[in-house]
Structure 1
Amino acid sequence: MDITQLDTPSLLVDLDIMEANMRQVDDFAKEQGIAWRPHIKTHKSIEIAKLQMANGACGITVAKVSEAEVMVKGGIDNILVAYPLASRTKLKRVAALFPLATIILTIDSEEQAAHVQEFFQPIDQEVEVWLKIDSGLKRCGVDPGEPTLRLAQYVSERCPNLKLKGLYTHAGHSYAATDYEQIERIGRYEGECIVASAQLCEEHGIPIEVRSVGSTPTFRISGKVPGITEIRPGNAVFYDAIQVGLGAATYSQCALRVMATVVSHRPGERLVLDTGSKSLALDQGAHGNATVKGFGHVVGHPEIVIQRLSEEHGVASIEGETSLRLLDRVQIIPNHACAVMNLFDQVHVVREGQVIDTWKVDARGHVQ
């Protein structure tokens, strides 16, 4: 059916744009001779994960055990859990997935490694692990260089059930960059610190098979560093207004849209859309940097700026003249696609203005 038959607010994904985004990532990976393992916290969809695998991805990345459970149930069988797990509750859930898929765990400290080893030793389970390296975000991760080597030695010598195969990092602080030159510097260091840390480990007899980098703003930079073997962009499947603000994408590459209706209009002053914080989220930047204007980009209407959100209302100012009237519809490119996807139960798959399918947002709300 035509998208005009949908009620609003509705979440749309343009299949042509999304598939083009996937091909661009895959083409880049092939050019560099590396793998790509997209982070599915952006879309939380089994169908989209399968499309990524069909378009060349070697596996997927998740943030949460519950996301991994959903993806394994959907048939995805190679998953990096990019989050340091230590509790017995979560490790027990992970262990239940091992007969069904390759599950890779993250280590970022000796204390955490000891907890993971203590859990898996009695059941004699071998676990593939990668070390999380802090390349500047100052969130999780061990520092590169000597601290990485010491942690690698601890895991290799003191944790017989943990099989160290990789190092990875996420340069999320690139979202706070003030210009693209800064993003380039962050991206180069992201790749270089992983490669240098891996080489240091190998000089001490610890082989590092995988050297993985992430972050949508930086993957085209860090992925070119010699020695990197894998990239993990997540947001690149959709892109969004924040990525446009950072210079990492254009609006024409933004596949995810929220369709809204004008529900109130005061000519020359403001109009109100039926999309509030429960459908657009409140993001206006990431990691301390505001990169967007308003709460989403209204496609084709630069005169409309969504100035404030309540739960169900998007209140927009009118800068000059507008053709929009009561009951007119607009499409809004969200500031942060990942947060918006997690607000909807389903996404309508659109090609040339026609709804060709509707997919469940399978891991929506799976935050454990």
Structure 2
Amino acid sequence: MTNIQTLDTPTLLLDYQKLLKNISDIANFANQQGLSYRPHIKTHKSVKIAKMQVEAGAVGVTTAKISEAEVMADGGIKDILIAYPISNPDKINRLIKLLQKGIRLKVSVDNPESLDYLQRGLEHTPFTLEVWIKVNSGLNRCGVEPGEEAVRLAKTIMTHSKLKLGGIFTHAGHSFGAKNYEEIEAIGLQEGLAVAESAAECEQAGIPISVRSVGSTPTFKFAGKVPGVTEIRPGNAVFFDGIQAGLGVTDIENCAVTLLASVVGVYKNRIILDTGSKSLCLDKGAHGNQTVSGFGQIIGHPEVIIERLSEEHGVGVFVQETHIKLNDRVQIIPNHACTVVNQFEEYVVHENGRVIDVWKVDARGMVK
């Protein structure tokens, strides 16, 4: 078997045993709490990994975009939530094509106007589309406000013959900007309550809500314990990364994805790596996280901080003496695994430093 240290660089590496452990951890939590598990695939973008998650007990998957859903459907995944607002007629036609393939499809909604677009698009078809109400639990991105606004939208959905209300969900992405683990817990509890209380108010109004779904990686183990919640949707937890370790959500040893890089320059006060912004990405967290230092952690070399990136160069500065030399290969734990994975065509899968397989990043670049 090939040793990963002999591979060309930069290469996206995936530790098989860590992947299995992370998938198992999520599935076990869901089982212990009596929850369904619908992982977000925007982190791994892999049909292979999605199927591993389904085999571990996932009821289906979550995607960010229709194009990701199309890739998952073509790969054999049958139950898909598109956690993104859709009202464009061309995109609605793509939803219909997924329904024609027999996909058990669910789509995010958060305003009455989009319901009208969906209704008109479906009227000439035999299909009824399942929609889930997105509530805002503090991220202030998409979503109606919990409670009264959610009930009002639920009542409006009931007046559309081609739509059926299947669930209420949210995403507490602002947890990625939390200052400490206690703040993450508070955000998670609020996340769970936003969904559970909205569902309870809908049911008091005579509208049944079968699925109450939560799911950022930092918060799912808190939000998932809120009474009334029935489903979790963590994405990043399949791999973890430097941001999750910085937040205290996991230990750095659980990070399954690394970049193999080569030292291409050694100077008095710095080294140059062949992993710049086109591979490591200029990402320290989308929602204000400041718990990471530099643009990735070099395993086994805390004396080097990746201080800056240009497109093809990573500049590492020394905080103490280093023995790194020209042509050395190092593994870098990325700050944000999701964006880094999207830069690569494939994973090189390894166990104990030995290559065991190569998996395609099937939904790479699928942003439409």
* Matching residue's letter, 2:292: V
Check whether the contact 2:99–2:127 (CA below 8 A) recurs between aligned residues. no
Counterpart in 2 of 1:77? 78
Aligned-partner Cα distance in 2 for 1:152–1:303: 55
Q: Which deviates the most, 328-337 or 287-296?
A: 287-296
Aligned-partner Cα distance in 1 for 2:76–2:210: 25
TM-score, normalised via structure 2 length: 0.98
Counterpart in 2 of 1:54? 55
User: Residue 39 of structure 1: SS of its match in structure 2?
Assistant: coil
Counterpart in 1 of 2:227? 226
Deviation at 1:43, TM superposition (A): 0.7
Deviation at 1:94, TM superposition (A): 1.1
Aligned-partner Cα distance in 2 for 1:345–1:364: 7
Aligned-partner Cα distance in 2 for 1:354–1:185: 41
User: Residue 140 of structure 2: SS of its match in structure 1?
Assistant: coil
Confirm whether residue 272 of structure 1 aligns to residue 269 of structure 2: no
User: Residue 99 of structure 2: SS of its match in structure 1?
Assistant: coil
Confirm whether residue 261 of structure 1 aligns to residue 265 of structure 2: no
* Matching residue's letter, 2:282: L
Aligned-partner Cα distance in 2 for 1:4–1:183: 37
Deviation at 1:5, TM superposition (A): 2.2
Pairs aligned (count)? 366
User: Residue 289 of structure 1: SS of its match in structure 2?
Assistant: coil
Counterpart in 2 of 1:119? 121
Deviation at 1:323, TM superposition (A): 1.7
Check whether the contact 2:139–2:174 (CA below 8 A) recurs between aligned residues. yes
Check whether the contact 1:26–1:55 (CA below 8 A) recurs between aligned residues. yes
Counterpart in 2 of 1:318? 318
Confirm whether residue 14 of structure 1 aligns to residue 11 of structure 2: no
Deviation at 1:145, TM superposition (A): 0.3
Deviation at 1:122, TM superposition (A): 2.2
User: Residue 295 of structure 1: SS of its match in structure 2?
Assistant: coil
* Matching residue's letter, 1:153: K
* Matching residue's letter, 1:332: I
Counterpart in 2 of 1:252? 253
Q: Which deviates the most, 256-265 or 278-287?
A: 278-287
Counterpart in 1 of 2:139? 137
Identity of aligned residues (%): 54
Aligned-partner Cα distance in 2 for 1:214–1:116: 25
Confirm whether residue 212 of structure 1 aligns to residue 210 of structure 2: no
Counterpart in 2 of 1:367? 367
Counterpart in 2 of 1:353? 353
CA offsets 1:55-97 (integer angstroms, 9 cap, x no match)? 1111000000000111111111100000010011111011101
Write out aligned runs for 1:294-309 (5 A): 294-309=294-309
Which consecutive aligned stretches of 4+ in structure 1 deviate over 3 angstroms post-superposition?
none
User: Residue 276 of structure 1: SS of its match in structure 2?
Assistant: coil
Deviation at 1:319, TM superposition (A): 1.1
Aligned-partner Cα distance in 1 for 2:189–2:46: 31
Counterpart in 2 of 1:287? 287
User: Residue 264 of structure 1: SS of its match in structure 2?
Assistant: strand
Aligned-residue RMSD, C-alpha: 0.8
Aligned-partner Cα distance in 2 for 1:168–1:332: 34
Deviation at 1:286, TM superposition (A): 2.4
Aligned-partner Cα distance in 2 for 1:214–1:118: 31
User: Residue 244 of structure 1: SS of its match in structure 2?
Assistant: helix
User: Residue 320 of structure 1: SS of its match in structure 2?
Assistant: coil
Aligned-partner Cα distance in 2 for 1:39–1:285: 18
Write out aligned runs for 1:93-112 (5 A): 93-100=94-101, 101-112=103-114
Write out aligned runs for 1:128-167 (5 A): 128-156=130-158, 158-167=159-168
Counterpart in 2 of 1:327? 327
Aligned-partner Cα distance in 2 for 1:194–1:167: 6
Aligned-partner Cα distance in 2 for 1:278–1:148: 41
Check whether the contact 2:169–2:213 (CA below 8 A) recurs between aligned residues. yes
* Matching residue's letter, 1:263: V
Check whether the contact 1:11–1:347 (CA below 8 A) recurs between aligned residues. yes
Aligned-partner Cα distance in 1 for 2:237–2:248: 13
Aligned-partner Cα distance in 1 for 2:325–2:144: 54
Aligned-partner Cα distance in 2 for 1:150–1:190: 20
Deviation at 1:197, TM superposition (A): 0.6
CA offsets 1:260-318 (integer angstroms, 9 cap, x no match)? 01110014x10000100011000012212322100001111100100000110000001
Deviation at 1:176, TM superposition (A): 1.3
TM-score, normalised via structure 1 length: 0.98
Check whether the contact 1:285–1:291 (CA below 8 A) recurs between aligned residues. no
Aligned-partner Cα distance in 1 for 2:296–2:51: 28
Aligned-partner Cα distance in 2 for 1:128–1:166: 9
* Matching residue's letter, 1:317: V
Aligned-partner Cα distance in 1 for 2:73–2:100: 10
Check whether the contact 1:149–1:197 (CA below 8 A) recurs between aligned residues. yes
